[in-house]
Structure 1
């Protein structure tokens, strides 16, 4: 446990049908919950780059970041830590999602906003409080 907040980030990736890409966490914080792909920001690594790297590591896809969706915090989500995380909108530019880290994730899927799995992670709930519908996909990066 640390006495300082740590930085993470996530990516809200929607498909052409407006479905959100979620992964199931097997580790704390919030083990068992469904959430956005993402992870810890390394020192000196811009958060946008972290989001792209983490999505590639977790799901084997390349994404473009299209904007900042919201900010999220997890305060002791089961690991005794405090995480502060920007959540970025992203879109797939290449690849097909696949489970790359089965030791960390129980599965993944595309979900309509009115048919999300439960439970959801705190960052996913923060995103949903910000957006009521899927953003319109564009080719802007």
Structure 2
């Protein structure tokens, strides 16, 4: 195992009713929990571009990435790794969400902030705390 932190990113996408788009993780870290769509930043890829790419891969939608919402850190949440992740506000600009990677994700849904799933990821908690 490499002893250095890794970088990921996520996006807080809200619909016109103020509901947050979450996706259920099937892999570590935090397998089973519901979280923000996003993923690992590739070397040389700007975080905002990663958010656009990952969300297109995961949900088949196009987003416009806005300002930084918060920063999240996950330290050994089941995978023995340390993740640092910027979380951006984003807006859906094209497409309807659909499950594109069923081996990685158990589902997706729009949730009111006062009615989130019982098990949410660390980045989702960081976003809610920042709001």
TM-score, normalised to structure 2's length? 0.99
> Aligned pair 1:55/2:39, yes or no?
no
User: Gaps (5+ residues) in structure 1?
Assistant: 132-141
1: CA distance, partners of 2:2 / 2:82: 8
- The CA RMSD over aligned residues, in Å, is 0.4
Deviation readout 1:18-51 (Å, 9 max, x if unpaired): 0000000000000000000000000000000000
Partner of 2:114: helix, strand, or coil? Answer: coil
Q: Gaps spanning 5+ residues in structure 2: where?
A: none
1:66 deviation in Å?
Answer: 1.4
User: After the TM superposition, which residues 1-141 of structure 1 pair with which residues of structure 2 at under 5 Å, given as runs?
Assistant: 1-131=1-131
Residue 70 of structure 1 deviates from its aligned partner by 0.2
Aligned to 1:137: none
Aligned to 2:72, what secondary structure does the other structure show? Answer: strand
For normalisation by structure 1, the TM-score amounts to 0.92
